[in-house]
Amino acid sequence: MHEKSISGLHKLSKAEKINWLAKNFSADEGTTTESLHSFWHEDAEIQRILDGFSENTLSNFVFPYGIAPNFLVDGQMYAVPMVIEESSVVAAAASAAKFWLPKGGFKTTVLGTTKLGQLHFSWKGHSAKLEALMPELCRTLLSDVQHITSNMEKRGGGISSIELQNMCHLEADYYQLKVGFETCDSMGANFINSVLEEFGRSLQHFISAQPSFSASEREVEVIMAILSNYTPNCIVRAEVSCPVEQLDDACINLDGLGFAEKFAKAVRIAEIDPYRATTHNKGIYNGVDAVVIATGNDFRATEACGHTYAARDGQYRSLSHCRVENGIFKFWLDLPIALGTVGGLTKLHPLANLSLEILGQPSAPELMSIIAATGLAQNFAAVRSLVTTGIQKGHMKMHLMNILNHLGGDADACKAAAEYFQDRVVSFSAVREFLDRREEGKTKPAVNAM
């Protein structure tokens, strides 16, 4: 073994883990240890809960928790919690929310809430035989998982569909059961995976007991049983619309119609060009991920689903769309997103729990709507900047404080810089030059007037 390798790290106490890390992978043991300790939560019980979220935890990695106000979604006002390290994202979302507030806000429609799972298996037999047995197999499968599904069914959820997928044209002897689930307000990952694994055992027993099958046909190999993070039938649409003349305030250099047409052209480019679509959709997820994280949901699953959906026709495209027809500007987003408002981190994490409280304890479909509206707001703000002032003007203004902190500016310097750069272009070199000139001014000797 390498001298810096270790066996059984997870068995050590947190202090022992920190000591081992600092000793073997740090230039300054004391500084590393102090830094990790400094981000522990002052409440030992909360820290114990946080430590339990992951493996080999040493400390907490802190991200800003902010609020974007003035979100009118389906007639209800929200202050939307956002966890993200980029200040311009929260500012942009808030700006777009305020822009659309007097125009009716955001309208959403939950188009579906079905989540999917798959049982992948190999079977050497005639597919027609298996297809003929599907009604009987489905009854058996549903009966065998009743002990798992009964509580979910009482809440209005459960298994909504079971389909046999013959994939032998792509891979020899490969089949799958594609299963639809309704999981109510829970994300449902553990529920779905438990059902699918039980399906695997039931499938093997069912096929082995078929008297009309040959000996080889009574053998089935379960490859894996797992939910799919691609949920094209768990989807929400968010939109904004208004007469084009109401967009006169969107840009000082364009009237409402001019802005609407230029905006729609920019979105159209993202529909047809995957290079632009990638950045365009990243902007949507700036808003989506920030709320997903704030509510204790899984942003990796959310993004994986959305990007797959964006490429569903074989080319990666924009998730949002815009049309200007008959004097009406319409901008909308179709977002596939599987969420939970009960279970998991949503109740365990103190701030995730608080986020749901701030949002009025929404159901999972309501949270889908709020998050889709936030993603659309973020997208509107970004495209609006791109087709008017350019993205850097606003972005760098928001980034000014980070540059000042990086260069060691004190509170007085930050205040002076904020005033100085109100009507100037912000860049790293410009801020450094400003600080240098300010420091030189401090050190120059005073000249006495005669």
Catalytic one among 262, 282, 307, 321? 282
CATH of domain 65-107+237-389: 3.90.770.10
From the candidates 185, 197, 198, 298, give the one annotated as an active-site residue.
Answer: 298
pLDDT interval class at 394 (50, 70, 90): low
Question: Which amino acid belongs to residue 8?
Answer: G
- Is residue 65 predicted with pLDDT exceeding 90? yes
Q: How many helices (H) and strands (E) does the chain have?
A: 17, 10
Q: How many percent of the chain have pLDDT more than 90?
A: 82
| Model pLDDT, residue 351 | 95
CA 74 to chain centre: 21
| pLDDT band at residue 420 using 50, 70 and 90 as cut-offs | confident
Could you read off the pLDDT of 74-84 as tens digits, one per residue?
A: 999 999 999 99
Backbone angles phi, psi at 192, to 5 degrees: -60, -45
For residues 267 and 321, is the Cβ–Cβ distance under 8 A? Answer: yes
Residue 449 has pLDDT above 50, yes or no: no
CATH of domain 115-228: 3.30.70.420
Does residue 319 register a pLDDT over 90? yes
At 226 the pLDDT is: 98
Check if 298 is active-site. Answer: yes
| Residues sharing a CB contact under 8 Å with residue 392, sequence separation 6 or more, in sequence order | none
Residue 264 one-letter amino acid: A
Q: What is the average pLDDT across 279-296?
A: 98
Average predicted confidence (pLDDT) for the chain? 93
Mean pLDDT value of segment 150-156: 96
- Has 406 been annotated as catalytic? no
Catalytic annotation present for 86: yes
pLDDT at 450: 40
Distance CA 192, CA 186 (A): 11
Res 414: pLDDT: 81
Catalytic option among 74, 86, 217, 273: 86
CA dihedral 77, 83, 84, 87 (to 10 degrees): 50
pLDDT: is 418 or 434 the higher one?
Answer: 434
Q: Exposed, middle or buried, 25 (CB in 10 Å: 0-12/13-18/19+)?
A: exposed
d(CA 86, CA 221): 48
Q: Which two three-digit tokens encode residue 441?
A: 């001014």
* Helix H or strand E segment including 332: strand 328-336
Catalytic residue among 17, 349, 395, 399: 395
Dist. CA 237–CA 337, nearest whole Å = 11
Say what the pLDDT of residue 392 is: 59
